[in-house]
Structure 1
Amino acid sequence: MNVFDRKINFDALLKFSHITPSTQQHLKKVYASFALCMFVAAAGAYVHVVTHFIQAGLLSALGSLGLMIWLMATPHSRETEQKRLGLLAGFAFLTGVGLGPALELCIFINPSILPTAFMGTAMIFTSFTLSALYARRRSYLFLGGFLMSAMSLMVLSSLSNLFFGSMWLFQANLYVGLVVMCGFVLFDTQLIIEKAENGDKDYIWHCIDLFLDFVTLFRKLMMILAMNEKDKKKEKK
C-alpha cells in the first residue's frame, strides 16, 4: 500500500463537532473583527512611524483606555452594533499608534526584526488558537488561575525592577511573559467558546481579548529579537 496515495480530508480537519453551529458563527464574527483590528492597528502604527509624533505613546494609551471603558459601558445590541464597531476600530488604531515607539526602535536596530516578529507572532497565535479549538471544551480553563498569578508576579517584579535596574530580571520578564501570553491565547479562546455556549454573543468584546493577546505577544517577541540583535552587534565590535 502506497502511503502517498492517501487523501487528506480537509473538511474533517475543519469540522469542530464539539462546538455548536451558533457558537461557530459567533467565532466567525470574532475573527472577522480581529482581522479588522489588525488592519486598523497596522494603519495606526504606520501613521506614527511616518509622523514621528513624540507624545503618541502616552496619548494613545490614554485614548485607547478611554475607548475601552466607553465600549465596556455600551451594551451589546443590534442598535449599538455599528457604534461599538466604530469604538473597536478607534481602540485598535490607537493601540497601533502606541506601538510606534517600539517599532521605531526596532527599525533603527534592524528593520528585519519587524516582519520576523510579526510572522513569529502569527504562527504562535495560530498554533495555540487551533490547539484550543480542537481540544475538548473547558480543557484549558484551569489555566486561568495560574496565568493571573503569573501576571501578578510579573507586574510586581517589573515594579521592583524600577529600583534595581536589573537587565537579567527585565529579560526574564520578557521570556516568561511570552510563555504566559501563549497560555492566555489558549485560555481566552476556550473562555470565548464557553461564554458563547452559555449565551454571551458579544463578539466585539471577545475580539478585544484576542487582539490584546496578539499585540502583547508581538510586543514581547519584538523586544526579545531587538535585544538579541543588539547583543550580536556588541559581540561583533
Structure 2
Amino acid sequence: MHFEPIGHIRSPYTDKFGIPRQPGLVTAAEARLELRPEFAREEAFKALDGFSHVWILFVFHQDCLTAGWKPTVRPPRLGGRESVGVFASRAPYRPNPIGLSAVEHLGLIRDERGLALRLRGVDMLDGTPVLDIKPYVPYADAIPEARGGFAVAPPADPREVRVSPTAAADLERFDPDGARALRTLVMQVLEQDPRPGYMDRYPERREFGLRLMEFDIRWRLEAGYIEVIGLRPAP
C-alpha cells in the first residue's frame, strides 16, 4: 500500500506543544486544508456544503514517521501515570501514524494559494499531510449509547486565564483590529492547560512558553489560574 496526501493543513499550531488533545476544544482555531493541484477541483466537493462537519484523515508527521511505536502508552487523560494499550488510545506514535478528527467545515475558498477547505476546531499541526476527507453523518457517526472507557467525560472545567498588562499591550500591537482572533485563540488554548500530565510532579516549574502562529507565548501558572505574561515574534 502506498498513499499520497491530497493536501496539507495550514493551522495556527506551529509547534506540537499547545495543540489541544482533541478536536473541537479550541473553537478559535481555524485552519485551511490546501489541496494539491491535481485534487483542487470544485466538482470533487459537490454537495459537501450541506454537511456542517467533516472527518479529516491525516498523518502524524515530523518524528512520528520514524520514531517507531510501543504497545503501551501513558495518555494525558490519565495524568501520564497509567499505561494503556496503544490501540486503546489516540497517541500519535502508532504502527501506522494515522489520525482522525471530526472538525467544523466552513466551505471552500479559492485564492492566490489555490483551492482550500476552511476548517474550525482543528487539532492538527501546521503542515500536517491529509490523506482523505469524508462527510460527518450524524445518524451514523454519533452513537449516544457508546461507552467511553477511561475518557467517559469531557476534560475538566477550563482553567481561568488572565492577561497581564504587558501581554494585553502585545496582543493589541500584533492584532490591533482583532481580525486574527489572536487573544481568543491564546486564551482558549491555555484554558486547556497544555502542560503534559506528568508536570504535576514538578510544582516548582511555574513559567512556560508555547508557539502559536508566528508568536512565542509566555505564560505563568498561578494559584487557581493561568496568566499570559507576554508575546513576541518567534525567531
User: What is the TM-score of this pair, normalised by structure 1?
Assistant: 0.25
Higher helix share: 1
User: What is the TM-score of this pair, normalised by structure 2?
Assistant: 0.25
Structure whose alpha-carbon radius of gyration is higher: 1
Higher strand share: 2
